[in-house]
Structure 1
């Protein structure tokens, strides 16, 4: 049965009934027009649940009037949902990103409707999920119905993210510019961290990194490297610059050699133009991208991730500020473990030494009460701040404490030494 062709986004989402569990396409492919329409439609519905990762520009669904009608269920928090999570008005599900598609495919998490944004169908009737495949392919495979925003500005990307037009229950077409995330503005702290991390990167490494000022700073320091590869859950313009300079060519990878592998991309229009119909870039199901068994097959995996807080023993909190949920588990552990098992692999947790305008040390004697441990002290390898590099591999608690205090902000080192003795009974 062909899809219903709708004249408005509101008409498209009107297929959603009371009590439904809905998945929304995420990241740069967040179907903002359909979600804005859902914010209106939901006022006439009840018991709706919206499953999501990080969404871009979906603030309309955070309207307080929706509290009695729709509840967010987040596998990752972002700007539209962060306050709701911290107020207890949304639910957070701690889970490795690689496990989210499995949750859907196993039936553990039921999905009634998937709301997505796609490219126009090609001559075979196939649409592309474009710049964000992540868990949305699995959601489309398992959902009872799919509502699609067909956006002529969505790139048609290669890889796993294809859905046939005939599988849609309803479609609405309108051109709309995708979210733009240009390279982060460099600052002295991020630049210093970037230089320190770059010291650990070797020619031929297979990179995984995120987006933001620190990853961008790291990438800007790699222009003289050669034969770098990329197998990452997401990438931005910093990677594109290294592809164009020849530093990244993916020639030494064993899994998808000569291909840049990712789950989603977020950046400038220049980046979106680059991935459009580009067979050298493949967007894959995040269950495959973040599979430790696949990651480890590439030699010299270099996983670069961030954190909110690290304790003196090496425990890493990356999803919360104490009990206040900030983001999510994401793929950090997927890649840290994959890198550890890779021949010659390494992993880095990079973070500024302080927060709150220098008033709080991010390296703490103990994590804040309620803080979630995303990466355990047994998994952590390198921790990097603007003050240097601490290698945790094979180190005792006392050795870890000394190394971490050495890269903490100087204003807090004496205090950390005293607290380490008082709490841990370790003389450093």
Structure 2
């Protein structure tokens, strides 16, 4: 099927042009809202053409050509990497995972704003981000009336289309045509004081429409593409990931026996990566049935759970599938299409819904300290890794906030449990469970000093456990205060030692 057959609006067929022609419509300094969320549904052709245009322009020695890039979350090398490589991004928000972007952010040559993903649309609606000049959106098709069939991610596309002065559409023929009908775009959001309750009480509820509204007069270009989403393959769970998963599954079983969780658990939210996929694999192999997910992304592990029947329904804003996962989805889309709902991210990550549904949130950490504060974004306090993403939306508002990590990094040179985190993303007030391969620390109902004992004894690696306990005991004996004991001259010394000696 050609992509032209997916452009059913006659007025928009008249605006078909090449990616190079569309790239010429983007001016230096423009605020450009692009589709894309975790390597799914991002524009594939125009960013590459724009990067080449910027490369040529900057080679002439004139004023640098840069734009401001706003997305749903991370994209792919064809977008973030291509534009960052030619120094074409002045400001990036709200999340990224590209190594070239990361290098420019940490060298100070690219500005970066790290937002909770649920808040980005509100910031745009409120005008905090400035005026959006152009929205560049990938879609799976255009209907006769100009409405859009969303692609493999929704993200902030609804907001970008509403906010932008002009719109460029990429119609991707490689996106499965049977995506149509899987989306639920809610048009009932508003700013205070005009907000109404969001009437969603179960992950399977549909409260919106299957299509994106798009003013035809705002569309200045339509570009036909045929290119697959790009995501890295997931590694098979290793022994560390499996052990972390086992601790979490044992915890769920205890909570069910106590009566704090129903036998079908509560809706699951899972961050992206190999450890979350190991947990999903463990859930699929366990005794659980009729589970639900209310999360950001559909990963390979969730496809397996949907196929086996362990998971009854999954609500998200995007796919984050390996190449094998994409093939599995495409080959069995008739099975999945009634079990998956894709929403915009201000709904998929909405605090009201996370609190109402009682989400079990499982996300990764870079480091945690003795009292349960978590750093999920910065290496050694200053160097940005990716961003907070949606973890804060769910950790603060979910029923359970579980943070997971191997107990060490860099071949044992770094402890994931430290006296004091070098950057705080999730405070001790929001972190309920910490899990490493060493064990699980349930922090609910514990005072700071009780939390310290639980974290050291259950989560710290044996190579660092005695030193952490020594630090804690000396902090308690210092007389500086017993509520949250710290030695200020030593609290970040582990990070300094790694910076100077290569080992904590």
Give the TM-score, by structure 2 length.
0.76
- C-alpha displacement of 1:380: 0.8
1:235 is matched with: 298
2:116 is aligned with 1:100: no
Contact 1:209 1:305 in 2 (8 A): yes
Contact 1:381 1:392 in 2 (8 A): yes
- Give distance in 2, aligned partners of 1:18 and 1:3: 27
CA offset digits 1:113-136 (Å, max 9, x no partner): 111211122455432232211122
2:142 is matched with: 121
- C-alpha displacement of 1:393: 1.4
- C-alpha displacement of 1:181: 4.1
CA offset digits 1:372-407 (Å, max 9, x no partner): x11110111010000111011121121111111112
2:307 is matched with: 244
Alignment of 1:9-408 (within 5 A): 9-26=19-36, 27=38, 28-43=40-55, 44=57, 46-52=65-71, 53-57=73-77, 58=79, 59-63=81-85, 66-67=86-87, 70-79=89-98, 80-109=100-129, 110-155=131-176, 156=179, 157-160=182-185, 162-164=212-214, 166=216, 167-201=218-252, 203-204=263-264, 205-223=266-284, 224-250=287-313, 260-267=314-321, 268-270=325-327, 272-273=329-330, 278-299=337-358, 301-321=359-379, 322-339=381-398, 345-368=399-422, 371=423, 373-406=424-457, 407-408=459-460
- Give distance in 1, aligned partners of 2:368 and 2:158: 34
- Give distance in 1, aligned partners of 2:476 and 2:47: 50
- C-alpha displacement of 1:147: 1.0
Contact 2:269 2:295 in 1 (8 A): yes
- Give distance in 2, aligned partners of 1:401 and 1:271: 44
Secondary structure of 2:392 counterpart:
helix
Secondary structure of 2:128 counterpart:
coil
Equivalenced residue count is: 407
Contact 1:206 1:302 in 2 (8 A): yes
Task: Identify which range, 167-176 or 44-53, moves more after superposition.
Answer: 44-53
- C-alpha displacement of 1:183: 3.8
- C-alpha displacement of 1:6: 4.1
- Give distance in 2, aligned partners of 1:42 and 1:30: 19
CA offset digits 1:305-350 (Å, max 9, x no partner): 11101011110001111110111121112112221xxxxx322001
RMSD: 2.3
- C-alpha displacement of 1:42: 2.8
Contact 1:316 1:374 in 2 (8 A): yes
- C-alpha displacement of 1:354: 0.5
Secondary structure of 1:384 counterpart:
strand
- C-alpha displacement of 1:275: 5.7
Q: Kindly tell me: are residues 389 and 312 of structure 1, through their superposed partners in 2, closer, same or farther at Cα, counting changes over 3 Å? A: same
Contact 2:168 2:219 in 1 (8 A): yes
Q: Kindly tell me: are residues 399 and 269 of structure 1, through their superposed partners in 2, closer, same or farther at Cα, counting changes over 3 Å? A: same
Q: Kindly tell me: are residues 97 and 424 of structure 1, through their superposed partners in 2, closer, same or farther at Cα, counting changes over 3 Å? A: farther
Larger radius of gyration: 2
Q: Kindly tell me: are residues 149 and 130 of structure 1, through their superposed partners in 2, closer, same or farther at Cα, counting changes over 3 Å? A: same
Q: Kindly tell me: are residues 138 and 381 of structure 1, through their superposed partners in 2, closer, same or farther at Cα, counting changes over 3 Å? A: same
Secondary structure of 1:99 counterpart:
helix
Q: Kindly tell me: are residues 168 and 280 of structure 1, through their superposed partners in 2, closer, same or farther at Cα, counting changes over 3 Å? A: farther
- Which structure 1 segments of 5+ residues have no match? 251-259, 340-344
CA offset digits 1:83-114 (Å, max 9, x no partner): 11111111221321100011112222221111
Secondary structure of 2:90 counterpart:
strand
Contact 2:150 2:183 in 1 (8 A): no
Q: Which is helix-richer, 1 or 2?
A: 2
- Give distance in 2, aligned partners of 1:72 and 1:4: 33
- Give distance in 2, aligned partners of 1:336 and 1:2: 43
- Give distance in 2, aligned partners of 1:198 and 1:145: 49
Secondary structure of 2:368 counterpart:
strand
- C-alpha displacement of 1:168: 2.4
CA offset digits 1:260-282 (Å, max 9, x no partner): 21111110213542568924322
Contact 1:131 1:272 in 2 (8 A): no
Give the TM-score, by structure 1 length.
0.89
- Give distance in 2, aligned partners of 1:12 and 1:200: 53
Q: Kindly tell me: are residues 380 and 363 of structure 1, through their superposed partners in 2, closer, same or farther at Cα, counting changes over 3 Å? A: same
- C-alpha displacement of 1:3: 6.7
Contact 2:141 2:150 in 1 (8 A): no
Q: Kindly tell me: are residues 95 and 357 of structure 1, through their superposed partners in 2, closer, same or farther at Cα, counting changes over 3 Å? A: same
Secondary structure of 1:5 counterpart:
coil
Contact 1:303 1:347 in 2 (8 A): yes
- Give distance in 2, aligned partners of 1:374 and 1:164: 36
